[in-house]
A = this chain, B = another copy of it.
Amino acid sequence: MFKDQNKSLKTGTCQLRLKASRDALEVIQGKWRVPIIISLTFGKKRFNEIKNEIGDISPKMLSQELKMLEENQIIQRNVYDSKPVMIEYELTPLGRSMKKMLEELLAWGLHFRKEIIKKQH
């Protein structure tokens, strides 16, 4: 990446890059998507389990974001025909494939915080 120093953002390869980064951003952006995904990396979870873990998310937002993540095939909604009916959410292989990206995001976030705080003294 970033090897073609002399090519502008308008070249084909670079447009592809921008598109790819926008695709990724679209999935992880917003206030709740990453927390939900991180929550599910710790295993299958039920609606209220996710809700309680994240803490300050409303059922409306959780429902909305779970739907979006399901549509994008990041998570899977499993309905078990027990009584009472139980619903579990889990990451799909595509969802699990986000691990490395999220690790880097997290690592840079930590680095960023450290640097910003350092420079404020």
Q: Which residues of A contact B (CB under 8 A)?
A: 1-2, 4-10, 14, 16-25, 27-29, 34-35, 38-39, 41-43, 53-55, 72-73, 94, 97-113, 115-116, 119
- Tell me the bound Cα distance from A3 to B8 in angstroms: 41
Residues of B within 8 A of A106 (CB): 1, 17, 20-21, 24
Contact between chains at B21 and A34 (CB < 8 Å): yes
Of the residues B28, B35, B72, B73, contact of A18 by C-beta under 8 Å: B35
> How many copies altogether?
2
Residues of B within 8 A of A108 (CB): 24, 97-98, 100-101
A80 to chain B, nearest CB (A): 21
